Structure 1
Amino acid sequence: MAGTNFDDLVAAAWPAPYSQDIGGWRLRHAAGVTKRANSVLPVGAPGAPIDRAIERVEGAYGELGLPAAFQLSAASRPEGLDEVLAGRGYDVVDPTLAMAAELDDPGPQDDVMITTRPSQEWKDVWWSVDGRGDDAALAMAERILTGVPAGYAVLDGVAVGRGVPQGEWLGVYAMAVLPEARRRGLARQVLRALMAWGYEQGCRKAYLVVVEANAAARALYESAGFRNAGGYHYRVRRQ
């Protein structure tokens, strides 16, 4: 798994509805719904001095009424960009781990339903756990979730997850369990079902991203065979 560019996998699996190139940097926006879809992916050196490129980013996000934000990983960020952003008043937000695992055939997972579109039940569970915003924000989130082919797993109307086949890789996203249903092993069942489904789609490896501070989720993923494989953090401009 060494050498895998998780930045590209994540960007493709969680596609911002709007994206533009700024001197080689990818500026994404989705009306403020999730940092991942409302940040710059600065892959490689910009086509202008770094300070000038940052000013272009700040101007673009300012016109959208959004804070300027960058998604930075050791794999792709230009040398010195993190330090320059810190000096310009950008805070580190949500250090995130990429974790990866090998897939094998675990057999059928009969209790978990997986569909190719998110049902209303699926959306209700996920949005009640991870959603932020009004109906317009939910509509934008659905555009992101359905922007590429995926499988949407739901268990007993209280636990959900999303799997995105990407060649040999399966991306695991949107894992959520209603608070009253936690500590019953439901997330583990959903994860196992998504991994089995991914194997059926031809995937042989799986990855996911998890906020570093979420110790409970990290423990779940480690118990399922996922190991640290990189990561990123955001730099968000102070308001």
Structure 2
Amino acid sequence: MRDYDSLIDEAWPAFERERSRGWTFRYAGGVTKRANSVLPLGERGDIEAAEAFYADRGLPCAFSMGPGAGEGLDAELEGRGYGLVDPTLIMAGSPEGEPRHRVRIEDEPWDGWLDTWWSVDGRFTDGLESARRICTGVKARYAAVEEDGVALAVGRGVPQGDTVGIYCMATLPAARRRGLASSVLRALVRRDEHAYLVTTESNTAAQALYRSEGFEVRARYHYRVR
């Protein structure tokens, strides 16, 4: 199985990172748990040190519990009062077919792309600049279906060796059920590329879309937060 823990970490980079034995403490202004959580891979780290790291930054301590998390850590965190948050599916596949809509693709996110993604996926009253910094922390391509200068559906693709990570898939509510997301996805995954993406377990509509494009569940992760 691919090392999805490392791929996701690379594709969604925190701009502050601190190593603690085999663990990585990640911080990105509090924007998304993915970039503001412990990645507990390798040698056992120190839970108290992790808690101090996030307390110093005014955040709850969160652990990303993916396929590579240390054995027994999840149960230990549960015993310490850490709640299970956001069970998530990692899906992978190779979509076929050409986009059915004209798709704009750029090497940098433009304001309209960011506005659409943030209006759909942003869970914070502020933090857009931190989100932009996360997105542009690695090389990526940005796609959108536009009408009258408005990005109706957007997505982000991160080339990672022989695969591409798909992130930031979002469609404006009024533009849904038109196949726009499928066009964005197909445009981001180039011919003969393998792709993966993540979606919350509760988002059954997104899962149905991705399965229709050839994606299947390959792994799972969740967060432990206190």
For this structure pair, what is the TM-score category when the shorter chain's length is used for normalisation?
Answer: over 0.9
Partners of 1:225 and 1:145 in 2: how far apart?
25
Q: One-letter code of the match for 1:39?
A: S
1:176 and 2:170 correspond: yes
Q: Confirm whether residue 92 of structure 1 aligns to residue 84 of structure 2.
A: yes
Q: CA deviation at 1:79?
A: 1.1
CA distance in 1: counterparts of 2:10 and 2:69, whole angstroms: 18
Quick check: 1:45 aligned with 2:36? no
1:208 matched residue in structure 2 = 197
- Tell me if the contact between 1:109 and 1:193 (Cα under 8 Å) persists in the aligned partners: no
**Structure 2 spans left out of the alignment, 5+ residues:** none
Counterpart in the other structure of 2:106: 115
Partners of 1:68 and 1:225 lie apart in 2 by 36
CA contact (8 A) 2:99 2:183 kept: no
2:221 corresponding residue in structure 1 = 232
Task: Name the CA distance, whole Å, in 2 between partners of 1:109 and 1:7.
Answer: 32
**Structure 1 length-normalised TM:** 0.89
1:108 and 1:227 map into 2 onto residues whose CA distance is: 20
1:149 aligns with 2:149: no
Rounded Cα–Cα distance in structure 1 between residues aligned with 2:87 and 2:39: 15
| Structure 1 position 231, deviation (Å) | 1.5
State the percentage of identical aligned residues: 54
State the SS of the aligned residue for 1:71. Answer: strand
**Deviation above 6 Å: which 4+ runs of structure 1?**
none
Gaps spanning 5+ residues in structure 1: where? 48-52
What residue number does 1:124 align with?
115
Q: Is the 8 A contact 1:161 1:173 kept in 2?
A: yes
- What's the secondary structure of 1:118's corresponding residue? coil
The AA in structure 1 aligned to 2:62 is A
Task: For 1:54 and 1:107, locate their aligned partners in 2 and report how far apart those are by CA, in whole Å.
Answer: 48
State the alpha-carbon separation in 2 of the partners of residues 159 and 146 from structure 1.
Answer: 19
- Aligned residue pairs total 222
Q: Which has the higher helix share?
A: 1
Give 1:38 deviation, angstroms: 0.3
Partner of 1:70: 63
